[in-house]
Amino acid sequence: MTKKQRSWERRLAAQPDALTVDYVESLSYDTRLYKYDIVGSIAHAGMLAEQKLITRAEFKAIKSGLIEISEEIEAGRFSFDKVCEDIHMAIEAALIKKIGEPGEKLHTARSRNDQVATDVRLWLRDEIEALQGKIGLLQEALVVLAERHAEDLMPAYTHLQRAQPIVIGAYVLSFAEQLERDSRRLGNCRQLLNVSPLGSGAIAGSTLPIDRENTARQLGFADVAYNSIDAVSDRDFCAEFIFDCSLLGAHLSRLAEDWILFSSNEFDFIRIDDAFCTSSSMMPQKRNPDVLELMRGKTGSLYGALMAMLTILKGQPSGYNRDLQEDKIHLFGAADTTRASLDMTRAVVSHTAFKTEHIAAGLRQGFLDATALAEYLVRKGVPFRKAHGVVGALVTLCEKQGLELSQLSLQTFKEHAPAVESDVYECLGAANVVRHYVSHGAAGPQQTKRQIAYWKKHLAQR
């Protein structure tokens, strides 16, 4: 591109230094906005024509020129020149080259400041929908896994110590819940960002009689941004989106952490299919859960993007500053990482088997039925705090004698708590405990089946 083509820089006496060109360009990462840039420009030109700021013929020339450029980019025939700085100038320069003077009218009453703010919002609207789709697919995979194990038992942990027995399905569905909040949070973000900055110009709007409601309507925005100064510099939605990705990442990372532990010899609860494991360059016996470790690690990168985005925003004076160009690096990075991790998690969830028999065989350890025994005593009229103490003493006794609670004699029970009767044995042992869960949302088979039915209906409605 020659100096003349950098028509926006007549003001400057010299060509930009090569270092400057490299330093200020964003074309190397913002080309993915091209479709949105073109759609936004066509809407803007259409409005300019309706407002008689350009002729119908000029609008037609602009529109067909932009469509041709879009096709060229799509087909890989477009030559990008970083001297153009960014996708917005690259497209405008190509349009002017293609159609001449009408192309020079496209930027009427518009700045790159409102243009890029518009493009990013349009892009993010679609990106959020795509991510919500991927969340839904992962939830479906979780529901399939939960249904397979709606009655199979596992220990639940608090403080990573054995706590109470649950069904595997309930554990699996806990992630479907987390993901549902992620999906809704993203939906909220989409709703908040869906206002049009277009027509705010560089910072103060325009002296030309543009119609911002017109372009907002054409582009599917729910409203126009009300203050031009805010509109060109607002990137709240970028920070919010990256936060949503970060929290989603935290959820995936916790699943990853569980399954890394579960796949170890020490737990041996699950087997992840070979296609989703890696081996060691030195130790020939290894099957490593690298995929899950990377998922955990990539969540760290998401947090980094969030911190970067917030930091970019904090020190800027009002209005647009070029600092804001850096938003896209972190925004796109967060979106790409989140997409990839959602796909990967779905694949792992779909190709992991719980070793139900092995897990069941280990359920006798850890006094998983202790809380249920205390609740049995409550049903017999013993105050909970007393019942808690009685069961604590019984567990200590069992530990000394190498017994489980269900192996204690009725006489021993009665010595500690006279209210105990022979029906006590019906509430002991993991299988009995989960059958007796009655509270809404509990981790037993009935509640899990109810949740599965809900998820199937809910996910099908999407």
Active site residues: 159, 280
List strand residue ranges (DSSP E) for 137-234, in order. 153-158, 161-167, 195-196, 223-224
User: Is there binding between residue 116 and ligand ARG (CB under 6 A)?
Assistant: yes
Residue 97 CA to residue 74 CA, distance in Å, equals: 19
Q: Which is nearer to ligand ARG, 116 or 387 (CB)?
A: 116
User: Is 26 among the residues that bind ligand ARG (CB under 6 A)?
Assistant: yes
Among 324, 348, 374, 391, binds ligand ARG (CB under 6 A): 324
Q: Distance between CA atoms of 257 and 259, rounded to whole angstroms?
A: 5
Query: For ligand ARG, which is the closer residue by CB, 113 or 341?
Result: 113
Binding residue for ligand ARG, selected from 112, 125, 251, 330, defined by CB under 6 A:
112
The letter for the amino acid at 426 is E
From the list 113, 200, 263, 341, which residue makes contact with ligand ARG (rule: CB under 6 A)? 113
Distance (Å, rounded) from C-alpha 96 to C-alpha 103?
5
200 binds ligand ARG (CB under 6 A): no
Report in angstroms how near the CB of residue 131 gets to ligand ARG at its nearest. 22
Check if the beta carbon of residue 305 is closer than 8 Å to that of residue 242. Answer: yes
H/E element, 414: helix 410-416
**Residues 150, 169: Cα–Cα separation, whole Å:** 5
How many CB atoms are closer than 10 A to CB 71? 11
- 118 versus 139: smaller Cβ distance to ligand ARG: 118
The nearer residue to ligand ARG, 324 or 390, going by C-beta atoms, is 324
User: Which window, 60-68, 112-120, 126-134, 287-295, contacts ligand ARG (CB under 6 A)?
Assistant: 112-120
> Which position among 164, 325, 337, 338 is part of the footprint of ligand ARG (CB under 6 A)?
325
Nearer Cβ to ligand ARG, position 324 or 417?
324
Say if residues 189 and 128 touch (Cβ distance below 8 Å): yes
| Segments of 269-335 assigned E as strands | 270-272
By CB under 6 A, the count of residues binding ligand ARG is: 9
Stretch that binds ligand ARG, among 142-150, 279-287, 316-324, 391-399 (CB under 6 A): 316-324
Total number of residues shown for the chain: 462
Can you tell me whether residue 223 is helix, strand or coil?
strand
Judged by CB under 6 A, the residue of 37, 86, 234, 369 near ligand ARG is 86
